[in-house]
Chains A and B, each alone.
Chain A
Amino acid sequence: MHVNRNPLPSKVEAFSLGMAGLACFVAIWVAASISGLVPRQFLPTPWEVALRTYNLLWEPFAGATLPVHLARSFERFASGFTLAAAVGVPLGLLMGWFRWLDDMITPVFDGLRFISPIAWVPFAALWFGTGLGGPILIIFSGAFPPCLINAYRGARFVDRTYIEAAQMLGTGNRRTILHVLLPASFPAIVAGLRIGAGLGWQSLVGAELIVASAGVGYMMVQGQSNISTRTVMAGMIAIGVVGLVIDVALRQLEAFVRRRRGLR
């Protein structure tokens, strides 16, 4: 039986519970930090981190201010992610339509996709040195699998009647892929892009272990070697916030697509 949860106070309730969770988290953090359980230098208090974050907006560290580091990071992320989407989505759609391509690529792909993006760091460094290629490779390896898998699953499990309708209208492969598979799998593709963007952005710090100029990951590595844990945490916060912004933006796109289809 379907049980209705009381709908009226749920929004306020959810918000208050979220705030309460956040408060608990901060309280534990503060307690751990000021009780001396962890050396203060290794676990700064929230307000020290907040102040450091604010200062980094203006004061350069490791050669640049936080916004400049972020901009460089975003550039690398955007390059890697765009490449992952540009290869993953079309390849996934083609694999969903042509059985032979599916049979050919799936074993290779399944073998590679469980390798963590960080595992590519040594090769990224060896192949690309400190150039743009290294971080792009690492972010690509994080973002690519969900882009491909979702496009593939979207295309593979398109409602049969759409394909039959296209067939009886005399539609060839090219138009079937572009005008039936692609739009039919669009919700799945956008969901894949969201997951891919999240994983790609998460791989950023690993990607920037090997860069020598600027970037949030680079800033954090420099912070660690200077035992400036506040800088490291400021970097973590910046990554969290930007990641959230990327996700919200893609979620808006997803909602827009669904609305246009009359799905909600």
Chain B
Amino acid sequence: MSAIQFEDASRLFERDGKTFPALENVNFTVADKEFVALVGPSGCGKTTCLRMAAGFEVPTAGRVLVGGMQVPGPGPDRAVVFQQFALFPWKSVEDNIAFGLRNKNMAAEERRRRVSGVIKLMGLESYETAFPHQLSGGMQQRVAIARAYVLDPQVLLMDEPFGALDAQTRIVMQEELVRIARVNPRTVLFITHAVEEAVYLADRVAVMTRRPGRIKEILDVRAIRAAENWDRHERVEDVMDLESFVHLRTHIWRLLRDEKMALDG
């Protein structure tokens, strides 16, 4: 069991000596092996939610639990994929991926087996000895995902992982992620501002309000995906063309637009 639970989680932040609420009483749960996408207007605190689950930040009130335990701090049971990849530029692809395993006193043979397994899974063969700066953005993010996956984490936290990629690469990566998630399902919290991406990837989509962020609505995509049999389509664009997909996407768009209008008006 490794659910992520936000229980009345609130977070204040300080700027110029004043205190602002960033998150207010956030309540939702990502069930074990469930894929939840979190969308919301920019600055609404979605990344703060993820950072609290990762253990980089603590809630100022309420609790964030992973696997029933309050998050004690960052750790390899909750692997993070960052928007800016955060690969170590002084290490090769292979060494970046093996870095977390080396922290665990694992036998060299087992470590090599797992690294080469995940390199194959992510299609990184023949890039093992390359350095991050020699790779395209999409390849770098593959390495970052491989680095997280190789730890076999209970929970995967992805902070706009495809936000820095161009549109074509982004689509390929989305398809890859769906493929990997089928091979080996995990508890995933996925932050994005791209509504289509959220609907395509997630079991459920949680929509946040503008700052101070709260959960506005949670939509279950699973039932519609199963009823309309989205999975018969291999390609992202075919799924995104389906009427049920468009309907759901538009609904979420409207929710977000309401937030935007409230902000501007």
Contacts of B104 in A (CB 8 A): 170
Q: Are A164 and B90 in contact (CB under 8 A)?
A: no
Task: Bits for B93-126, please: 1 = Cβ < 8 Å to A, else 0.
Answer: 0000001101110000000000000000000000
Q: Are A162 and B74 in contact (CB under 8 A)?
A: no
Among A165, A167, A170, A186, the residue within 8 A (CB) of B88 is A165
Q: Are A170 and B76 in contact (CB under 8 A)?
A: yes
Q: Tell me, in angstroms, the Cα distance from A184 to B90 when the chains sit together.
A: 8
Contacts of A10 in B (CB 8 A): none
Q: Are A168 and B131 in contact (CB under 8 A)?
A: no
Q: Are B86 and A169 in contact (CB under 8 A)?
A: no
Q: Tell me, in angstroms, the Cα distance from A171 to B75 when the chains sit together.
A: 8
User: DSSP majority for the B interface?
Assistant: loop
Closest chain B residue, CB of each to CB of A186: B90
Q: Tell me, in angstroms, the Cα distance from A111 to B45 when the chains sit together.
A: 44
Which of B13-21, B77-85, B170-178 lies at the interface with chain A? B77-85
- Contact residues, B36-83 vs A (CB, 8 A): 54-56, 73-76, 78-80, 82
A182 to chain B: closest CB distance in Å?
A: 9
User: DSSP majority for the A interface?
Assistant: helix
Q: Tell me, in angstroms, the Cα distance from A251 to B228 when the chains sit together.
A: 64
A113 to chain B: closest CB distance in Å?
A: 30
Contacts of B147 in A (CB 8 A): 169
B58 to chain A: closest CB distance in Å?
A: 14
Q: Are A262 and B134 in contact (CB under 8 A)?
A: yes
A171 to chain B: closest CB distance in Å?
A: 5
Is there a chain B Cβ closer than 8 Å to A175's Cβ?
Answer: yes
Contacts of B139 in A (CB 8 A): none
Q: Tell me, in angstroms, the Cα distance from A175 to B88 when the chains sit together.
A: 13
- Contact residues, A18-48 vs B (CB, 8 A): none
B90 to chain A: closest CB distance in Å?
A: 4
Among A162, A175, A262, the residue within 8 A (CB) of B86 is A162
Q: Tell me, in angstroms, the Cα distance from A242 to B13 when the chains sit together.
A: 54
Closest chain A residue, CB of each to CB of B104: A170
Closest chain B residue, CB of each to CB of A170: B76
With A164-B74, A261-B133, A262-B131 known as contacts, the answer to whether A169 contacts B90 (CB < 8 A) is no
Q: 12 A-B Cβ contacts within 8 A?
A: A162-B86, A165-B87, A167-B56, A167-B75, A168-B55, A169-B79, A169-B100, A170-B75, A171-B100, A171-B103, A262-B89, A262-B134
Chain A interface residues toward B at CB < 8 A: 161-162, 164-172, 175, 179-180, 183-184, 186, 260-262
Closest 5 CB pairs of A and B: A262-B133, A169-B100, A170-B76, A167-B74, A183-B90
